[in-house]
Amino acid sequence: MASLRSFSLFKPLTVLSTFPLVMSDSAGNLASLYSLSTSTSFPFPSATLSGAEAQSHIVSKWSLSKGRIQDGPQNIAFVNDPFPSSGASSTGPVLQVTYRKGSYSHDTGGTQFENLWNTTDGSAFQSMMLSYEIAFDQGFEWVKGGKLPGLRGGPNATGCSGGNQPNGRDCFSARLMWRKDGAGEVYGYLQAPNSLCKEKSITCNSDFGISISRGSFTFAAGQWNRVTLLVQLNDPVDVANGNLQLYFNDVQVVSQQDLQFRTSSKVNANGLFFSTFFGGSDDSWATPVMTHSYYRNMTLCGSSGPSTLSGEKVGSGAHMPAVHIMLLLVPLAIGFLILYS
């Protein structure tokens, strides 16, 4: 299986234990700030491709996990840029994802696959940054929301999505999500230590992922939007100092520095989690029409250094949200009552 080519692009800088609040910056400057000295770009074809040719290009050149597109291979194509602009850094075809009428979840619409980005020296990534540009059809109907590409890590390649909760030793994921009217957020499958779920910027869900800074930015249809997502894993693993930053059109919109992505040092950052669909797990999220999203200028930057922020030590069992603990205790309580009634 072909692998993405890694190369040194940015001059590394020393990063202190407390990072400045960077309100506006480019992906290149951020990579330098966080010492992400290894970089790679996802190769796009020079001519439009559809069907099996588009699928073959991604499988052979984007270093996919298990060498396949997990869901919706029929929904991808490389097409002419629908919103060309003079400021674009590339002028070739862009990746188009189709959401068919009535589709929702990764089983019925959109597409999903995972990239495995390997370092040339065999070391593991503990910090990773994804940057790409995304556009939606003019008049895009947002409905209730949908998923967008992000990052993932850990040895379990099938967990941390679709309600498959992480245990801290298997995986994590941090995708983007649009909500009603294009409101944006980071949507994570990660641990919820200490009092994370009580924070104003956090919305916890007992069955699915954790919403981070919902509504802190808004996607615009009919034009290109630039997103840059940074994840730095917590270190030590029992300290909640994981760092997550999101820049939208080069302006900082999310900054969460008290996260626990892992409870085991065996969990590292793997690469791109290209996951996009309407939903949601029921048809109330479904798109009423066939519609599309588009992607270009996709890059990854990374380093073997984790977060160096200070953080609160995680108490025993505190990695589970309180609602998860209640779901475990209720059956035990019922069994106790039946046994002694």
8-50 pLDDT, tens digit per residue, is 443 333 333 344 455 778 899 999 999 999 999 999 999 999 9
How far is it, in rounded angstroms, from Cα 134 to Cα 293? Answer: 7
- Specify the DSSP element, H or E, that contains 28: helix 27-33
Residue 195, domain CATH: 2.60.120.200
| DSSP-assigned states of every residue in 177-233 | EEEGGGEEEEEEE-B--TTGGGSTTEE--SSS-EEEEEEEEE--TTSEEEEEEEEE-
With a cut of 60, say whether residue 340 has pLDDT above it: no
243-261 pLDDT, tens digit per residue, is 999 999 999 999 999 999 9
Q: Which has more confidence, 81 or 19?
A: 81
Q: Is the pTM of the predicted complex or chain greater than 0.75?
A: yes
How far is it, in rounded angstroms, from Cα 287 to Cα 60? Answer: 31
Tell me, what's the pLDDT at 331? 52
Q: Map residue 99 onto helix, strand or coil.
A: strand
- Specify the DSSP element, H or E, that contains 32: helix 27-33
Q: Is 2 domain-assigned?
A: no
| Mean of pLDDT values over 313-324 | 57
Q: Is 231 domain-assigned?
A: yes
With a cut of 70, say whether residue 323 has pLDDT above it: no
Q: Which residues contact 340 (CB under 8 A, 6 or more apart)?
A: none
CB atoms within 10 A of CB 17: 9
With a cut of 80, say whether residue 269 has pLDDT above it: yes
Where does the pLDDT of residue 333 fall: very low under 50, low under 70, confident under 90, or very high at 90 and above?
A: low
* Both tokens assigned to 223: 């034009």
Q: Which residues contact 46 (CB under 8 A, 6 or more apart)?
A: 92, 93
Tell me, what's the pLDDT at 335? 54
CB atoms within 10 A of CB 149: 24
Q: Is 204 domain-assigned?
A: yes
Q: Which has more confidence, 306 or 91?
A: 306
Per the DSSP assignment, residues forming a β-bridge with 277 are 147
Strands (E), the chain: 7-8, 38-41, 76-79, 94-99, 111-114, 127-136, 145-153, 172-179, 183-189, 202-203, 210-218, 224-232, 239-240, 242-248, 251-259, 269-278, 291-303, 312-313
With a cut of 50, say whether residue 295 has pLDDT above it: yes
129-147 pLDDT, tens digit per residue, is 999 999 999 999 999 999 9
Q: Which residues contact 191 (CB under 8 A, 6 or more apart)?
A: 166, 168, 240, 259, 260, 261, 262, 263, 314, 319, 320
Where does the pLDDT of residue 118 fall: very low under 50, low under 70, confident under 90, or very high at 90 and above?
A: confident
Tell me, what's the pLDDT at 326? 47
Whether 75 and 55 have beta carbons less than 8 Å apart is answered as no
Tell me, what's the pLDDT at 87? 62
How far is it, in rounded angstroms, from Cα 79 to Cα 25? Answer: 30
* Least confident residue range of 33-37, 150-154, 274-278, 321-325: 321-325
Tell me, what's the pLDDT at 88? 65
Tell me, what's the pLDDT at 26? 87
* Both tokens assigned to 170: 């298997």
With a cut of 60, say whether residue 332 has pLDDT above it: no
Q: Is 1 domain-assigned?
A: no
Q: Is 149 domain-assigned?
A: yes
**Domain hosting residue 207, numbered range:** 7-14+21-340
φ and ψ of 291, to 5 deg: -150, 175
- The number of distinct structural domains making up the chain is 1
Tell me, what's the pLDDT at 122? 84
| Mean of pLDDT values over 148-176 | 94
Per the DSSP assignment, residues forming a β-bridge with 218 are 183
φ and ψ of 4, to 5 deg: -65, 145
